[in-house]
Amino acid sequence: MSIRHGLLALLERGQMYGYQLRAAFEESTGSTWPLNIGQVYTTLSRLERDGLVRPLPESEAGQRPYEITDAGRADLALWFATPISRTDRPRDELAIKLALALTTPGVDVRSVVQAQRSATMRALQELTRLKYGSNRPEDLPWRLVLDSMVFQAEAEVRWLDHCETSLVRHQPSGPAPPPPRPDDADARDAARWAGEEARR
Amino acid sequence: MSGSDDAVLELRAVHRTHGAGPAAVHALRGVSLVVRPGELVAVMGPSGSGKSTLLALAGGLDRPTGGEVRVEGQPLGALDRRGLAQLRRRRIGYIFQQLNLLGSLSALENVALPLELDGTSGRRARALAVAALTEVGLPALGDRFPDQLSGGQQQRVAIARALVGERRLVLADEPTGALDSQTGEAVLHLLRRRIDAGAAGVLVTHEARHAGWADRVVFLRDGVLVDTTAPLGSVEQLLSGSER
């Protein structure tokens, strides 16, 4: 996540000082990416060094607001206009882990897949719950951020499903457990009963 | 998992085998599941893992070949066909991908039908149907026929029919079907709201995004329940934990 461009976008709304920027950043991303105030000031000083923001005189309360420069606006416009490259993102640890699990002796890959699927599914539940709780019009930016995370989690679950299917095809597990013995009504009667029900 | 007095749905070591001998198909092998009021459980798993069988057994549309299914404490195996049909009409709402709306009846009549079949007076059935259509956001479209409604509206009517009256168990099988993502989400929103109001629900889906609406997700593989996610905490807990 580019904190640099996040701060520039916030300053495009008007001048702000460090704590205001932190609060506005967290508000617009629904606290999904918490910032500490040190990160804000470090980023501001780099932006100032690069001529993208400039400091204004301190207020009576001792707060120093910043404003965006023309160069900053141009940089921000370029950021919005340029798609994010997938190769800019960190390596996918999960894909690497599964690939290694397949070639490492003694690792039950299907268990690795299922453990990850449960964890990702659980994260997806949490994201959905957060989304369900944010219905106000002013929650829209946060909802979109949550949606992005929801779709990424969904994609991961789908990929894990795909991995499992491939594993079953290429590495069939051991023999299935013996079939359990029905302990009540004759299965054929039950099937006939179900058929009659379905026709009703 | 032990039984529970307040369980709306309980499956105890349920087996379902189709056919017999070497050709027998074991759709479910010893599945146990408890669903309480206010709880939505999603069932996920690959095709053929037993998801739909589980739902049919939970709704009394099929009988297990072993184990027991209870709805609001009532063992379904102890009911004759008439008793089972009555329980299904009164206590269980079904939402399927195939909507099964009757084309010759208006939306309102479709929703009121299960109540009238159950002997509720026409006037009262109508009032409850209006309430259910209002709940799904279609208070003004009761007089329209299914072919005068969009796909999303038809699905809402089907949901109103599933929720009408005092059904405490809602069973949904891929309920968003071919709906676009926004409309599909609205359908799940409705389901969630009814669950939050005290019903219990089981949602069968292969879409992780839809299962995300559940309180718990259980995974089936080859007829066996292989895993389940831990129940969710409150929104406040989630928010305080969002710094992970």
- Average pLDDT on B36-63 reads 92
Closest Cβ–Cβ partner in B30, B189, B230 for A180: B30
The answer, yes or no, to whether residue B113 has pLDDT greater than 50, is: yes
What pLDDT was estimated at residue B110? 93
Q: Would you say residue A188 lies in a domain?
A: no
Q: How far is A137 from chain B (nearest CA, A)?
A: 16
Is the residue at A183 inside a domain?
A: no
CA A69 centroid distance within chain? 32
Contact B191, B223 (CB under 8 A): no
Q: What is the mean pLDDT of chain B?
A: 88
3-state secondary structure of A16: strand
Distance (Å) from the C-alpha of residue B5 to the closest C-alpha of chain A?
A: 24
Q: Which among B66, B81, B192 is the nearest to A184, CB-wise?
A: B66
Q: What is the pLDDT of residues A48-70, one digit of tens each?
A: 999 999 999 998 888 999 999 99
According to the model, what pLDDT value does residue B219 have? 93
Q: How many domains does chain A have?
A: 2
Tell me which residue in B66, B207, B239 faces A182 most closely, judged by beta carbons.
B66
The least confident of A99-103, B134-138, B156-160 is: A99-103
Q: Domain residues of chain B, as ranges?
A: 9-101+158-231
| Cβ-based contacts under 8 A for chains A and B | 122
Q: What are the DSSP calls for A60-107, one per residue? A: TTS---EEE-HHHHHHHHHHHHSPPPGGGSPP-HHHHHHHHHHHSTT-
Question: Hey, are the CB atoms on B212 and A150 less than 8 Å from each other?
Answer: yes
Mean pLDDT confidence for B3-17: 89
Same-domain status, A98 and A66: no
Maximum separation of any 2 CA atoms in chain B, in Å: 56
> Is residue B193 scored above 60 in pLDDT?
yes
Residue B239: what pLDDT? Answer: 62
Residue B75 has what pLDDT?
A: 95
As a whole-number percent, the residues of chain A with pLDDT over 70 amount to 80
Has residue A186 got a pLDDT over 90? no
Q: Would you say residue A141 lies in a domain?
A: yes
Looking up residue A36, the CATH number of its domain turns out to be 1.10.10.10
- Mean pLDDT of the A7-23 span: 91
Domain match, A159 and A114 both: yes
**Residue A161 resides in a domain:** yes
Which pLDDT score, from 0 to 100, does residue A31 have? 67
Is A123 in the same domain as A155? yes
CA atoms within 13 A on the CB side of B167: 29
Has residue A41 been placed in a domain?
yes
What is the pTM assigned to this prediction? 0.75
Superfamily of domain B9-101+158-231: P-loop containing nucleotide triphosphate hydrolases (3.40.50.300)
Pairing of strands B200-204, B216-221: unpaired
Please tell me the distance in Å from A10's CA to the nearest CA on chain B.
Answer: 22
- The distance from CA A96 to its chain's CA centroid, rounded to whole angstroms, is 18
Partner-chain residue, chosen from B19, B207, B212, that has the shortest CB–CB distance to A125: B212
Residue A185 within a domain = no
* B199, B37 Cβ separation under 8 angstroms: yes
ipTM of the prediction: 0.78
For B130-177, the DSSP string reads HHHHHHTT-TT-TTS-GGGS-HHHHHHHHHHHHHSTT--EEEEESTTT
Average pLDDT of chain A? 80
Angle at the Cα of B144 from the Cα atoms of B141 and B150, rounded to 5 degrees = 80
Q: What is the pLDDT of residue B137?
A: 85
Domain extent for A126: 90-170
Confidence bin at A82 (pLDDT 50/70/90):
confident
Tell me, yes or no, whether A179 lies in a domain.
no
Q: Do residue A70 and residue A108 come from a single domain?
A: no
Structural domain contains residue A146: yes
Cβ distance A194 to B63 less than 8 Å, yes or no, reads yes
